Structure 1
């Protein structure tokens, strides 16, 4: 896939984001051949939009979710300004592109993590996190989930389904809390829909965050102080309906809510 086609795809994906619309399928000539090409296109989408990157999303840390996502490794995407919002949040269902509410820990960085040849360790990443928050990622996709849904590299070029992040209050003394084993509930209109833990889904929020820092570093991109990273769903993926309110209950760590109006 030459640079001309990469740029063509980037411009098209940027237009879909600006206009908040989707399409069915993608011309075969515009589907990136591999993940590295797809991530280069995603970087071009950032350039085309000219929007600030205020965070990142991570998905597919473990084999079960990787199979659902049709990938063999974790994936990532950019979160753009102003799409990080404090809970509670209400969004218009009709304006969301194939929405999926995902319960996730959100890590906010206090220091830069620039690209480097030496790999980052979990301990270094932990020192760089200024705060850890309960949250919900309101994932979206610029491609309709139909029979023409394109291969995973097209989804990576689109930001791996990145949308908005709903942020709760910072968890006090998170470093000394049992983050990994805390039961987390996803409640819809008062009814329990999903349950999970970080231990089952991602091991601990610092594990995917360390993976992301090293993966970005490999391609010459750094994480920046102030950015918020959505570290991966704890409760899987489901499709919301109009009028539903989702509450992510992190027990003693707080609650976060989002309504699809």
Structure 2
């Protein structure tokens, strides 16, 4: 994939982001040949947009999600300002690109994790977390999920389906709590639709967060204080309908509410 085609894909993805549009399929000549190229294009999209990176999303944190997303490893994408919001929120489902509410712990960084040669340990990453929150990631994709849906590398170039992070109040003394063992329920119109836990889905939110810190360190990007990180779905993916109200119930850790108008 030559530089001209890469730039063409950058321009397309920027246009789709700015206009809030989706398209069906992608010209085969514009499909990145590998993940490294895809992530480089995602960085160029950020530069062209000129939008502040307010956070990051992590996906495919376990084998089931990797199979669903056609990946053999976790993936990540940028979340742009002002798409980091506090609960509760109301959105127009038609104004989003095939939104998918995913129940996820959100970590807010209290210090930078800059690029460096030595890998970050989980202890170092945990120490950099200012607060941990119950949350929902409202994932989006600039490509319609139809028979023309492009391969994973195109999705990575689009930010791995990044959309909006919605978070609740900080979990008090989260380091002393059984975060991994807490059952979380996803309710739709007060009826339970899904349940799960960090322990079953990803072990503990610090595990994927450490993975991301080292991925962004290796590529010379790093993470900054104040950024939120959506650490991976605990309940899988679900497609909403207009009029539905979703509530992520984290038990003693709080709730997060999302209404589709």
Structure 1 unaligned runs (5+)? none
Once the two structures are superposed, what CA deviation does each residue of 1:164-222 show, in whole Å capped at 9, x if it has no partner? 01110000000000000000000000100000000010100000000000011111111
- Structure 2 match to 1:192: 192
- Structure 1 match to 2:223: 223
- Is 1:2 the counterpart of 2:9 in the alignment? no
- Structure 2 match to 1:36: 36
Once the two structures are superposed, what CA deviation does each residue of 1:34-68 show, in whole Å capped at 9, x if it has no partner? 00000000001101110000000000011111000
Equivalences, count:
261
- Is 1:101 the counterpart of 2:101 in the alignment? yes
Q: Which runs of 4+ in 1 moved over 2 A?
A: none
Once the two structures are superposed, what CA deviation does each residue of 1:110-155 show, in whole Å capped at 9, x if it has no partner? 0000001100000000000000000000000000000000000000
Q: How does 1:218-257 map to 2 (within 5 A)?
A: 218-257=218-257
In structure 1, C-alpha distance between the alignment counterparts of 2:221 and 2:194, rounded to whole Å: 35
Q: How does 1:12-23 map to 2 (within 5 A)?
A: 12-23=12-23
Structure 2 unaligned runs (5+)? none
- Structure 1 match to 2:68: 68
- Structure 2 match to 1:59: 59
- Structure 2 match to 1:209: 209
- The normalised TM-score by structure 2 is 0.99
In structure 2, C-alpha distance between the alignment counterparts of 1:119 and 1:155, rounded to whole Å: 27
In structure 1, C-alpha distance between the alignment counterparts of 2:174 and 2:164, rounded to whole Å: 23
Residue 105 of structure 2 aligns to a residue in which SS? strand
- Structure 2 match to 1:154: 154
Give 1:6 shift.
Answer: 1.1
Q: How does 1:127-206 map to 2 (within 5 A)?
A: 127-206=127-206
Give 1:10 shift.
Answer: 0.9
In structure 2, C-alpha distance between the alignment counterparts of 1:137 and 1:89, rounded to whole Å: 12
In structure 2, C-alpha distance between the alignment counterparts of 1:185 and 1:216, rounded to whole Å: 31
Greater Cα offset, 155-164 or 4-13: 4-13
Give 1:8 shift.
Answer: 1.2
In structure 1, C-alpha distance between the alignment counterparts of 2:165 and 2:62, rounded to whole Å: 21
- Structure 2 match to 1:121: 121
- Structure 2 match to 1:80: 80
- The normalised TM-score by structure 1 is 0.99
